[in-house]
Amino acid sequence: MSVTAAKGFVAGAVHSGLRRSGPDLALVRSLIPATGAAMFTVNRVQAAPVTVSKEHLELAEPQAIVVNSGVANAATGVRGELDARATAAEAARLLGLDAEEVLVLSTGVIGKRLALDKILPALRHAASSLSDEGGPAAAEAILTTDTHAKQAVAQGPGFAVGGMAKGSGMIHPNLATMLAVVTTDFPLEPGEAADFLRPTVDESFNAISVDGECSTNDTVVVLANGAGGATRSAAADEAFADALHAVCADLAGQIVADGEGATFLAEISVSGAASDPEAKAIARRIATSPLVKTALFGRDANWGRVLAAAGSAPFNGGYAQLDPARVTLDLAGVRVLEAGAPSDVEPELDGSRCTIALDLALGDGSADYLTSDLSYDYVRINADYRS
């Protein structure tokens, strides 16, 4: 159940010294020529590894990925880009690849430069540790404030899709502080991976929020090497798309469940909107509302906060369409509002998750979102992040 579940992929991890203890440098590569694609944060402040990896994808097909935790290499100027390029070049030298065939991902403290005197020697050890059993170690090495590794696997006819991700705080589209590496032995032609990845990311990693903060480093990468031997057909492509979606949705769900200080998960469903984009805007607004999230933490079924958030969802320079006289809202499976009229029923928010279902009765637009509560521990973790 790891990033090496698909045939022809190996991974390794070592402690480079960027973090005080534990593995903090991961390496993933395909032993067979692969094709791939990636999606990145749309934050205007983009980390050096994002800039460099974008350039590399324009020049070559990715064959290997280097991921470090502890240091984001963001807001580090020209020197940060040089450091990212040096990392890719050294990994390429060790693996017998061109530098442009290596993508670099970083996560950690913004404004702090990579320590190349630690990274470059550690890469030698990471390269020598590569194994088809190295996936779990790699998944551990990319964590920051996460409490556990995040891995997922899905099987299809003649192929597998495996992935790892990190993310706990600074989680919000587009994308979120998250990194994800997904590998598959399904056969894809150059240029095809992006067509499968883009809709999958929109429905998984771009439909979650922990704290409404969009990171500088977010990256989702998929590599495909065709080693599974699957034969292409319309049915096979559909099976692959389903498997890719399953892995990404699983990883996205794990990220939210492990949100910094999270104790409660809410699955938000908006239907009956005037359009899909408006439905997503409303779902996103509910998912990021501090008042909704703190109510969830207190297990307080204060559904008025959900309604107020829905009515103030930014869209196209104004707010998404909503008619309060037509809205129906179910909270934790209990109808609290029907066609604008309250039911005077108080739901119980027991356990660790609930559903929030909003029907606007305006059209066919729909969207789903996943969010976590906002707890005291979230403040503590982020107040002490650098200390």
Q: What DSSP assignment string belongs to 257-304?
A: HT-TT---EEEEEEEEESSHHHHHHHHHHHHH-HHHHHHHHTT---HH
- The verdict on whether 145 is a catalytic residue reads no
Return the residue matching tokens 């829905």. Answer: 310
Two tokens at 220?
Answer: 């989702």
The count of residues in the chain is 387
Q: What DSSP assignment string belongs to 105-122?
A: EEEEETT----HHHHHHH
- Neighbour tally for 276: CB within 10 Å: 14
Mention every residue, 6+ apart, whose C-beta is less than 8 A from residue 317. none
> Which residue of the set 41, 87, 144, 177 is catalytic?
177
Residues paired with 269 in a beta bridge: 357, 368
CB 318 within 8 A of CB 232: no
Whether the link from the prior residue into 188 is cis, omega within 30° of 0, is no
Q: Which residues are catalytic?
A: 177
